[in-house]
Structure 1
Amino acid sequence: MSMKDDLNKLNETVKQYRDELRVQMHLAQQDVRDEWDDLDEYWDKFRQKLDDIRHDADGVGQDTRETAYNLGEELKAGYERIRKRLK
């Protein structure tokens, strides 16, 4: 699987987690909300990196792809932590 495919798959997973959690956030405690707010900043950075990659796919360096992938993995882990806490 290519890095582009990995990023697309990761994007879909993170987006799904984020959408599911957004629905549950109105019931969450303040500490969970604080973590959500922190992750939302990462979400914005992740989406920007993906947009950069999509708009300039050939000109984007491996470091940009790796940065996007690492941000996505951090988001995924963070959303998984929140999911577990809300169950």
Structure 2
Amino acid sequence: MNIKDELEKFRDGLLQQRDELKLQINLAKLEAKEEWESAESKIDSLMAKLESAGSEAKEASGDVLESAKALGEEIKSAYERIRKQL
């Protein structure tokens, strides 16, 4: 194999790697966006729960608070997953 063939083979390998990475980056962006949208809808739910906790009787507020804490942890985990993907 001559030098020109070797360089072309090397170039082709780099181009293939570039295309594969570009695809993986686009997929990661899509996954991160989907994760973000899911977290955003959970934030809306969390805000609603916190508002209702303030207006409900004390007995019911404990249940709402526990539910809000669990939802908050889900959101926190989602943000961590998004951060790892970026």
The answer for the alignment partner of 1:55 in structure 2 is 55
Percent identity among equivalent residues?
37
Tell me if structure 2 keeps the 8 A contact 1:52–1:60: no
> Number of residues paired by the alignment?
59
Q: What is the alpha-carbon distance in structure 1 between the residues aligned to residue 84 and residue 50 of structure 2?
A: 27
Q: SS in structure 1 opposite 2:58?
A: coil
Distance apart, 1:60 and its partner CA: 3.3
Structure with bigger RCO (C-alpha 8 Å, 6+ apart): 1
The answer for the alignment partner of 1:43 in structure 2 is 43
Distance apart, 1:41 and its partner CA: 1.0
1:37-85 Cα offsets, whole Å, 9 max, x none, are 1111111111111111233463533221111010001001111111121
Tell me if structure 1 keeps the 8 A contact 2:46–2:72: yes
Q: What is the alpha-carbon distance in structure 1 between the residues aligned to residue 71 and residue 60 of structure 2?
A: 16
Tell me if structure 1 keeps the 8 A contact 2:54–2:61: no
Q: Which ranges in structure 1 are unaligned for 5 or more consecutive residues?
A: 1-27
The answer for the alignment partner of 1:85 in structure 2 is 85
Greater C-alpha radius of gyration: 2
Q: What is the alpha-carbon distance in structure 1 between the residues aligned to residue 31 and residue 77 of structure 2?
A: 17
- Give the number of the structure whose residues are more often helix, by fraction: 2
